[in-house]
């Protein structure tokens, strides 16, 4: 029996409930892709774009800290772009610097996979939402330094906190899967960024993440961008397979 739904009271078998959950996720994914193609879609999906940017920049900052550096600040702009300021990466030399650059693009799919896996049980789904809300709010206090980010990140954190404390177990499980899905497929919303050598962030022309990785690993940036795009898709498929696997 799938431990994700064993305490559900909808009167459906676990496999039926899994089919319903996957069906809604598939509809959400298709709707997201369609909305990306129309101007109003960017407005409807705007909060999820900002959350994906937060995952991206936190990926840079947290990776820098794990490699002995300092995460100084995080900036998020109304355009949906962001910037993580860090320094002092000490471990693994060029490989360490490449890992910090990679931590940004891989931040959303890795976080998304973790959120999807948390949906395997109601308790984990609720805990995952509360942890995410807490991290959003804490990051705003410690690292976020842009005016827009100081407004947007706490608001998203409070919204996630409300879902984690004031909604039903089924909705919490679906919500955390939906957030995970949005994080994973956000890679493909700005897929061109993975294949850029330079990008304009916050009005500044900077070296892209793929190019920074390439500079340290001596590989073509477009090749590395392709690998990260493939890795994002694999993470999504892997997490969904585990989340819906019956014990």
**pLDDT at 5 (0 to 100):** 43
Strands 70-76 and 82-87: antiparallel
Listed residue (174, 184, 158) closest to 126, CA to CA: 174
**CA-to-CA separations, 245 to 14, 19, 180, 235, 237, in angstroms, rounded:** 11, 12, 17, 15, 12
Exposure letters 115-130 (e unless 16+ CB within 10 A, then b): bbbbbbbbebbbebbb
User: Coil, helix or strand for 163?
Assistant: helix
Assess contact for 118 and 71: CB atoms under 8 A: no
User: Coil, helix or strand for 12?
Assistant: coil
Q: Which residues of the chain have pLDDT under 70?
A: 1-21, 246-247
Assess contact for 39 and 65: CB atoms under 8 A: no
Q: What is the pLDDT of residues 173-223, one digit of tens each?
A: 989 999 999 999 998 888 888 998 888 887 788 889 999 999 999 889 999
Strands 198-201 and 204-207: antiparallel
**pLDDT at 169 (0 to 100):** 87
**pLDDT at 18 (0 to 100):** 60
């Amino acid at each position: 029996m799938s431990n994700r739904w064993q305490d559900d009271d909808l009167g459906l078998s676990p496999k039926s409930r899994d089919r319903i959950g996957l069906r809604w996720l598939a509809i959400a994914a298709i709707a997201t892709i369609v909305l990306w193609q129309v101007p109003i879609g960017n407005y409807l999906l705007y909060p999820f774009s900002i959350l994906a940017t937060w995952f991206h920049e936190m990926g840079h900052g947290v990776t820098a800290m794990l490699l002995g550096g300092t995460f100084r600040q995080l900036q998020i702009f109304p355009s949906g772009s962001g910037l993580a300021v860090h320094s002092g990466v000490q471990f693994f030399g060029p490989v360490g610097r490449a890992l910090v650059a990679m931590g940004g693009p891989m931040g959303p799919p890795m976080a998304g996979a973790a959120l999807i896996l948390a949906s395997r049980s109601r308790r984990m789904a609720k805990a995952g939402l509360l942890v995410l809300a807490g991290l959003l709010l804490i990051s705003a206090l410690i690292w976020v330094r842009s005016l827009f980010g100081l407004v947007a990140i706490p608001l998203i954190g409070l919204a996630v906190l409300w879902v984690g404390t004031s909604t039903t177990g089924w909705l919490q499980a679906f919500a955390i899967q939906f957030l995970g899905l949005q994080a994973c497929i956000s890679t493909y919303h700005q897929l061109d960024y993975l294949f850029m050598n330079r990008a304009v962030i916050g009005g500044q022309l900077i070296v892209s993440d793929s190019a920074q990785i390439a500079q340290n690993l001596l590989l073509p940036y477009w090749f590395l961008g392709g690998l990260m795009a493939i890795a994002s898709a694999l993470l999504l498929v892997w997490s969904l397979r585990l989340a819906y696997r019956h014990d």
